[in-house]
Amino acid sequence: MSNLRLINETEITSTINTLNITDVFTDDFDIYVIEGMDIAMTNGGGDYLYGRVINSSGSEITSNYDYASLYLPSSTSSAEERLTSRTEWESISFIGNGTNDTGQITMYIFSPTNSSSYTFYISQTNSYRSATPQMYLWKSVGVQKSIASVTGIQFSAKTGNMDNGKFRIYGLGVT
């Protein structure tokens, strides 16, 4: 049996490039679920959502990120991306920039506060781009290879900004 406990809800109400959600991961849970809803971006043709983890001192960790993504657009060929030794998890999602272009994300973070283990994630996102028009589906996995206690997460737009959206973080209790 499992259950979810809402830990944090953060809403983007003004244009920002980077969102830090701190002090949300604790030793209470080994698995966390992050839901991002109605994320909208501003950039000429849309933008990519990037991610980093934040350590217990409140600083983002800026090295040792590996990830792999599978990109499944509705109107073109699929693509894969695998990168190692990055400064962040890149291309977690692509989100268009039209009036009705928004994205959703569901991300699982594993063992973030365990200081003797790496921090892993899996995610799935979907978004719509009206300029094409087309739907985008991203599936990705990644690891942050530092032995550190992670207590927060950072999301950022690659080149533009996030205009709105809501992020909820849940602790997943597994019995």
Work out the percent of the chain whose per-residue pLDDT is above 90.
58
CB distance 175 to 32 below 8 Å? no
Spatial distance between the Cα atoms of 137 and 27, rounded to a whole number of angstroms: 32
The residue extents of the domains of the chain are: 2-174
- Check if CATH label 2.60.120 holds for domain 2-174: yes
What pLDDT, on the 0 to 100 scale, is given for residue 73?
78
Structure confidence by residue, pLDDT tens digits, 79-116: 898 999 999 998 777 776 666 677 899 999 999 999 89
What count of other Cβ atoms lies within 10 Å of the Cβ of residue 75? 10
Residue 102 forms beta bridges with which residues?
A: none
Across 60-73, average pLDDT = 92
CB distance 100 to 164 below 8 Å? no
Structure confidence by residue, pLDDT tens digits, 28-59: 999 999 999 988 887 666 678 889 999 999 99
